[in-house]
Amino acid sequence: MRVFLKLQVFFALFTSSLSVLNPVVLVPGDGGCQLEAKINKTNVVHYICEKSTTDYFNIWLNLELLVPLVIDCWIDNIKLIYDNQTRTTRNNDGVDIRVPGWGETETVEWLDPSHASTGSYFTDVAATLVKLGHVKNQTIKGAPYDFRKAPNENKDYFVRLKSLIEQTYEENNKTSVILLAHSMGGPMSLVFLNLQSQSWKDKYIRSLITLSAVWGGSLKAVKVYAIGDNLGSYVLRESVLRAEQISSPSLAWLMPSKLFWKPNEVLVQTDKKNYTINDLQEFFMGIGFPEGWEMRKDTEPYQLNFKPPGVEVHCLYGTGVQTVERLFYKPGTFLDGYPTLIYGDGDGTVNRRSLEGCLHWRTLQKQKVFVKELPKIDHLQILHDKSTQNYITSLIKKYARLRQPMRKIS
């Protein structure tokens, strides 16, 4: 009998704790959600490229499209075209691209609808939340966006994100929402929060959790402009992918920030000239990509607005992983050569100083800023690492306890 009663009490506590979970909205980083394309082109770059498709298909990140030759079709379909008069980008002629899965978790959990393990993104984080009693699409929502674009071209996203948060709050018995962001999702969330009033934030936001957020840009962006990036794959050629990568204004937004790099620090070294944070215009001219400089001018204001978010922050990031810090061109070579990469501390993608950016808010806002450094955890690994899952688990349990101060869960 006593055992039975104890069990009843246990279940009562358990079920009541379910109703007090703060819902979670997931904000992905650069490349962290699916994109779908529909094609109706008059010209293609190669005879093997399809001129038209009857419906939308997954274009990011579909590994079948990233093989030699087919990759040329892929780049021509996914790259953006910049207009320096309107200062906006558009899809290539005959291409329509959309972001599927608004409010759902599927397209931020898996980049590849076939669930290939290489495309696993917020999967482990979602699984951790489900274990705690969360329900996908109800108490966990995804907020994907066109990550090729920077905040200046994602103004509509911030409006929709606000509605999604308000709607999620209402659906969950007026319970404030946790924003959980990775990488570029961090500064996206910061832009969003800085657009809201303090009273709105106090009502709707429980806290902001960031994983490997890029607070002050990264030298990696300079490297991508110079030589491209193979996305960590040995099969893909960085020089091929570069054509697609540099067409994204979000890359210009992720260039090193003047708030984090001093004017005497050399980012790119050649025997003719050293390039610092103040020489980026010349750098873009030197690599033959003047549009990059235009995009930098469009996006830099968003980087320089580093006002604290005005909500409780949990800032997690990896360190102690070799991260490119400077490009060194051997004497006799110039920006069209191939540089030696000089490494420093960071998470393999983002420099340490940028990851630590959230520390600056500690004295600038009254809401707490918690910081957790995860040694040897790289930029993507943080999404899957046990320490991240443990941190999220204890935080969510703590919030549930705080909402029910009278009942102790033993």
Ligand X SMILES: *[C@@H]1O[C@H](CO)[C@@H](O)[C@H](O)[C@H]1NC(C)=O
| Residues 3-22 close enough to bind ligand X by CB under 6 A | 19
Look at phi and psi of residue 173 and say left if phi exceeds 0, alpha if psi is from -120 to 50, else beta.
left
Using the rule CB under 6 A, is 99 a contact of ligand X? Answer: no
Q: CB 198 → ligand X: shortest distance, Å? A: 24
The kind and range of the H/E element at 9 are helix 2-18
Using the rule CB under 6 A, is 276 a contact of ligand X? Answer: no
Nearest-angstrom CA–CA distance, 229 and 407: 52
| Residues 28-87 close enough to bind ligand X by CB under 6 A | 40, 42, 84
CB-based contact 260:304 (threshold 8 Å): no
Task: Find the binder of ligand X among 106, 109, 298, 300 (CB under 6 A).
Answer: 106
Catalytic-labelled residue, pool 347, 354, 378, 385? 347
Stretch that binds ligand X, among 23-31, 146-154, 162-170, 266-274 (CB under 6 A): 266-274
Nearest-angstrom CA–CA distance, 76 and 49: 10
Stretch that binds ligand X, among 63-71, 146-154, 187-195, 265-273 (CB under 6 A): 265-273
Q: CB 272 → ligand X: shortest distance, Å? A: 6
* DSSP letters for 110-164: BSSTT--GGGBSSHHHHHHHHHTT--BTTTEEE----TTS-GGG-HHHHHHHHHH
Q: CB 106 → ligand X: shortest distance, Å? A: 5
379 is an active site residue: yes
Nearest-angstrom CA–CA distance, 252 and 113: 29
The CA distances from residue 19 to 13, 171, 240, 287, 386, in Å, are 10, 11, 50, 56, 26
Which residue number has the CB closest to ligand X?
A: 19
C-beta of 107 vs 245, nearer to ligand X: 107
Count of residues of this chain found to bind ligand X when the rule CB under 6 A is applied: 15
218 closest CA partner among 335, 346, 307: 346
Catalytic-labelled residue, pool 176, 183, 218, 257? 183
135 closest CA partner among 161, 112, 168, 107: 168
Q: CB 337 → ligand X: shortest distance, Å? A: 15
347 is an active site residue: yes
Q: What does the binding site for ligand X look like in residue numbers (CB under 6 A)?
A: 19, 40, 42, 84, 104, 106, 136-137, 173, 266, 269, 273-274, 290, 294
